[in-house]
Amino acid sequence: MSVLEAHGLTYHAQGKPLVTDASFRLEPGELTMLIGPNGSGKSTLLRLALGLLAPDVGEALIDGTNVRTLSPVARARKAAHLPQTRPLAWPMPVRDVIALGRFAYGAAPGRLAAEDSAAVARAIAACRLAGFEDRAADTLSGGELARVHLARALATEAPLLIADEPVAALDPRYQHEVAQLFAHAAHEGRGVLTVVHDLPLAARYADRLIWMKDGRIVANGTVEETMTAARLADVFGIAAKIERSESTLTLSVIGPA
Ligand SMILES: Nc1ncnc2c1ncn2[C@@H]1O[C@H](COP(=O)(O)OP(=O)(O)OP(=O)(O)O)[C@@H](O)[C@H]1O
């Protein structure tokens, strides 16, 4: 189990503040979803939290260690990262793309120890990719390829899973399956932080929502605590109807506010 903490992360590019004074804590056992409009700084915040960008101010810690001091291998053993853009260098078979998730353990395609092969097999099963293993990855549909990249991240079996829009290309059934997969990973003890744009999906599955607007975290709490029509209008500029029954909150987006 690992804990990710961000303290006052601030980052500028070309004189413009992209992220300002962002602090949060990602706990094991919690599915945290990061939401906010296009350009509000979500991807930049994830990259700062992972140490892929150097903050101007503040720091991100994994288990008390500044992420910028971790080697790429040490970081990969702590945190799996599914970036928003996922380039494929060449048309590798699906199994080999997923096996790249094991590089931090010394594995490479064609050189997998038994535990690497077992982790790859678990990721293939979790992402429902059985039957695709030998396909060249560049022949897959957009949604199939998205599941391969997710499987690569899952194959790391790192205690933290940080994903940027993992369900964007997926059909509704797979969106729910992936959200359930993330919830399951979290409730097994991982810390899971994922960007999503689908607000009803976030309302349904998130244990915690972090709301971003103009580079700042403007709310951080449970769905019940933070999901209000007023906040949706303020952060996203949308009118929405929220219905609360005993244990569920249902969100219907009506349109622009
Ligand atoms: N290197 C850079 N130089 C200048 N501006 C940048 C740079 N990187 C990002 N930005 C800008 O910073 C803002 C935040 O970008 P970011 O990718 O973090 O947003 P986001 O919330 O993830 O957006 P989306 O929902 O569209 O993916 C955007 O306006 C983007 O154009």
pLDDT at 144 over 70: yes
pLDDT at 6 over 70: yes
| d(CA 57, ligand 1 centre) in Å | 18
Amino acid 91 reads: P
pLDDT at 145 over 70: yes
Give me the pLDDT at residue 110, please.
76
- Dihedral of alpha carbons 6, 84, 143, 251, sign: positive
Q: Where are the domains of the chain?
A: 87-157
To test the pocket of ligand 1, the residue of 42, 52, 196, 216 to mutate (highest count of ligand atoms within 8 Å of its CB) is 42
Distance CA 32, CA 72 (A): 24
| d(CA 230, ligand 1 centre) in Å | 25
Region of residue 58 (left: phi > 0; alpha: psi -120 to 50; beta: else): left
Of the pLDDT bands very low, low, confident and very high (cuts 50, 70, 90), residue 50 is very high
| Higher per-residue confidence, 11 vs 150 | 11
| d(CA 106, ligand 1 centre) in Å | 33
Give me the pLDDT at residue 23, please.
98
- Residue identified by tokens 């380039």 is 87
Give me the pLDDT at residue 246, please.
78
To test the pocket of ligand 1, the residue of 40, 85, 195 to mutate (highest count of ligand atoms within 8 Å of its CB) is 40
The complex's ipTM works out to 0.97
Give me the pLDDT at residue 57, please.
97
Give me the pLDDT at residue 89, please.
61
| d(CA 45, ligand 1 centre) in Å | 10
Ligand 1 atom with the smallest distance to the CA of 165 is: 27
Beta strand 31-35 with 16-26 is unpaired
pLDDT at 41 over 80: yes
| d(CA 235, ligand 1 centre) in Å | 16
| d(CA 84, ligand 1 centre) in Å | 12
- What average pLDDT does the segment 220-233 reach? 95
Contacts for 48-53: CB closer than 8 Å, 24+ residues apart:
48/6, 48/9, 48/11, 48/19, 48/22, 49/4, 49/6, 49/9, 49/162, 49/193, 50/75, 50/79, 50/81, 50/162, 51/75, 52/81, 53/11
Mean pLDDT of the chain: 93
pLDDT at 223 over 80: yes
- CB-based burial of residue 196 (10 Å sphere; 0-12 exposed, 13-18 middle, 19+ buried)? buried
pLDDT at 171 over 70: yes
Which residue's alpha carbon is nearest to atom 25 within ligand 1?
A: 38
Ligand 1 atom with the smallest distance to the CA of 47 is: 18
Which residue's alpha carbon is nearest to atom 27 within ligand 1?
A: 38
How do residues 59-86 score in pLDDT, each as one tens digit? 999 999 999 999 999 999 999 999 887 6
pLDDT at 1 over 90: no
- Residue identified by tokens 């059934």 is 173
pTM (two decimals): 0.93
How do residues 86-141 score in pLDDT, each as one tens digit? 676 678 899 999 999 998 888 877 788 899 999 999 999 999 999 999 999 989 98
Give me the pLDDT at residue 169, please.
80
Spell out which residues line ligand 1, taking CB within 6 angstroms.
Answer: 13-14, 16, 18, 36, 38-44, 84
- Residue identified by tokens 């945290």 is 32
